[in-house]
Amino acid sequence: MYDYLIVGAGLFGNVWAHEATKRGKKCLVVDRRNHIGGNTYCENVEGINVHYYGAHIFHTNDKDIWDYVNSFVEFNRYTNSPVANYYGELYNLPFNMNTFYQMWKVRTPEEAKAKIQEQIEAANIKEPKNLEEQAISLVGTDIYEKLIKSYTEKQWGRKCIDLPAFIIKRLPVRFTFDNNYFNDRYQGIPIGGYNKLNEALLEGIDVRLGVDYFKNRAELDASAKQIVYTGQLDEYFDFKLGYLEYRSLRFEHQTLDTPNHQGNAVVNYTDGETAFTRIIEHKHFEFGTQDKTVITHEYPQEWTPGQEPYYPVNDDKNDKLLREYRKLVDAETNVIFGGRLAEYRYYDMHQVIGSALAKVRKHFGE
């Protein structure tokens, strides 16, 4: 008899299992996939850790969480500095002095500010009615046209003029020559990949892979006193109130017989012609020196039930449905719901780890 059955071997489930085990409890972790790690799983191809479900860069401002993950595996000094490719023109991201020099050949912050301000004033948008107007009123037309418009339209599968303005609340603009995408104090990639982190979290814990909770529910429920559920919220309740919607992605992984394809881990394609949004070259996350390289084209997709769920669509319709499902959660006394799928919210890795640690402490009355 286990104290806890943990459904899902992603970061939430693994942190929970680790912490409960540390407190003397016996845990069983099951996952319907044939590997641990959830979406942080890496597949080793040609000695390269391929981020199988999309590029994952760890970043946080929270020293406790940084120390926590580093207690399981050391992190490298990788700094996310994506490059944008607009019909062959290359720009540094996030928008900073390098970008402005590449865009307008301006050399000083004053010149860059004046250029942006001039374009904002020329557009003369008083109250932005859609995402296009909102973006132009924040950064002007050039940056919008070359670096935001088509990328956003590919991501959402809709025109920017048909997307609500509130999606973009602010667009960070930096008047220094700094290509570091994140403002967080700590960032990096686990040395040896995310599998090392997940393996360390689950060390000494019983794990069964390729096991779908819903196909083995009676047996699994009987095996433990309590359940920690990290799968899809609506699926737990057999979708009885309807489907919570997602935006999906399709990844095309490719091995190339060259040591360095694009010279950067992340290149965003901001043109309107290519259907993919990004090409990821995985070896650069860990400064790989292998003879070959592995790249991934990332294609945003409409989601239909049964497909891999990636990003929750937190619009009014889905938020309303979420509130109804939460009422069912409140009535479920023996189950702890946690993680991005069971809470139907976007979590970065540091946030999901923080959430798991907080829930563990609360659960154990600490």
Find the shortest distance in angstroms from Cβ 340 to ligand FAD. Answer: 4
Which of 2, 86, 132, 278 is flagged as catalytic? 278
Find the shortest distance in angstroms from Cβ 307 to ligand FAD. Answer: 13
63-67: which pairs have CB atoms within 8 A and are 24 or more residues apart? 63/185, 63/186, 65/350, 65/353, 65/354, 65/357, 66/185, 66/186, 66/350
> Is residue 215 within 8 Å of residue 134, measured between CB atoms?
no
- Is 170 one of the annotated active-site residues of the chain? yes
From the CB of residue 1, how many other CB atoms can be counted at a distance below 10 Å? 8
Listed in order, strand segments (DSSP E) in the chain are 2-7, 27-31, 42-45, 48-51, 58-60, 83-86, 89-92, 186-188, 206-209, 224-229, 246-256, 266-269, 278-281, 293-302, 311-312, 335-337
Site for ligand FAD in 290-329 (CB under 6 A): 310
Options 193, 341, 344, 354; binder of ligand FAD; rule CB under 6 A: 341
Options 6, 8, 97, 174; binder of ligand FAD; rule CB under 6 A: 8
Site string for ligand FAD, 139-178 (x = CB under 6 A): ----------------------------------------
> Is residue 344 within 8 Å of residue 233, measured between CB atoms?
yes
Count Cα atoms within 13 angstroms, Cβ side, for 57: 21
Q: Is 179 in the site for ligand FAD (CB under 6 A)?
A: no
- Is 247 one of the annotated active-site residues of the chain? yes
Which of 62, 212, 235, 348 is flagged as catalytic? 348
Q: Is 347 in the site for ligand FAD (CB under 6 A)?
A: yes
Which of 87, 121, 319, 346 is flagged as catalytic? 346
Whether residue 94 has a cis bond before it, omega within 30° of 0? yes
Pair of tokens at residue 88: 């062959």
- Is 271 one of the annotated active-site residues of the chain? no
> Is residue 102 within 8 Å of residue 130, measured between CB atoms?
no
Which of 41, 298, 325, 347 is flagged as catalytic? 298
Find the shortest distance in angstroms from Cβ 149 to ligand FAD. Answer: 21
Instruction: Give the nearer residue to ligand FAD in terms of CB position, either 103 or 353.
Output: 353
> Is residue 282 within 8 Å of residue 72, measured between CB atoms?
no
- The residue range among 32-40, 117-125, 167-175, 238-246 that interacts with ligand FAD, by the rule CB under 6 A, is 32-40
Pairwise CA distance, residues 41 & 34, whole Å: 11
Options 149, 283, 340, 359; binder of ligand FAD; rule CB under 6 A: 340
**Type of residue found at 47:** G
Site for ligand FAD in 68-97 (CB under 6 A): none
Q: Is 7 in the site for ligand FAD (CB under 6 A)?
A: yes
Instruction: Give the nearer residue to ligand FAD in terms of CB position, either 87 or 214.
Output: 214
Which of 174, 186, 194, 269 is flagged as catalytic? 174
Q: Is 227 in the site for ligand FAD (CB under 6 A)?
A: no
Q: Which of 182, 204, 192, 180 is nearest to 74 (CA)?
A: 192
Pair of tokens at residue 244: 């919570």
The catalytic site residues sit at 170, 174, 247, 278, 298, 346, 348
Residues that bind ligand FAD (CB under 6 A): 7-13, 30-33, 38-40, 54-58, 212-214, 230-231, 249, 310, 339-341, 347-350, 352
